[in-house]
Amino acid sequence: MSHCKHIDVAGAEALLAGSQPAMLLDMRDARAYCQGHDPRAIPLTAQTLRSLLLHTPHQVRIVICCADGSASPARAELFADFGFEHCYSLDGGYAAWQARPRQAATPQRIAQRVAAHL
């Protein structure tokens, strides 16, 4: 039985910006990660995978990103198998993430983000 849920870019952005704890995990190789990644993304290496599976509270929302969305469902399924309640595979992967429309970081938006964390 598949526990993997799929999420589009807009849904992932909303999840990461929400009030509930959420993590963006980037499973692309080190070279691709270094060439560009979201600043909130954690590289999902063999070492970080083990640590995250063992030490992350299972209520944390997990969004997993690969290059094109084809490999992340299996990794999201692994997190679900370990008891994580909210695991998502990013549809379209980093290619879709990079192509998403972005809002400019105006002083008002920055102040709203800061106020939301206080």
Other beta carbons within 10 angstroms of residue 108's beta carbon come to 8
34 is catalytic: no
Measured distance CA(72)–CA(64) in Å, rounded: 6
Which of 4, 34, 65, 66 is labelled catalytic? 66
Question: What are the CB-based long-range contacts (under 8 Å, 24+) for 57-60?
Answer: 57/21, 58/82, 58/83, 58/84, 58/85, 59/20, 59/21, 59/85, 59/86, 60/21, 60/22, 60/23, 60/84, 60/86
Catalytic residue positions? Answer: 66
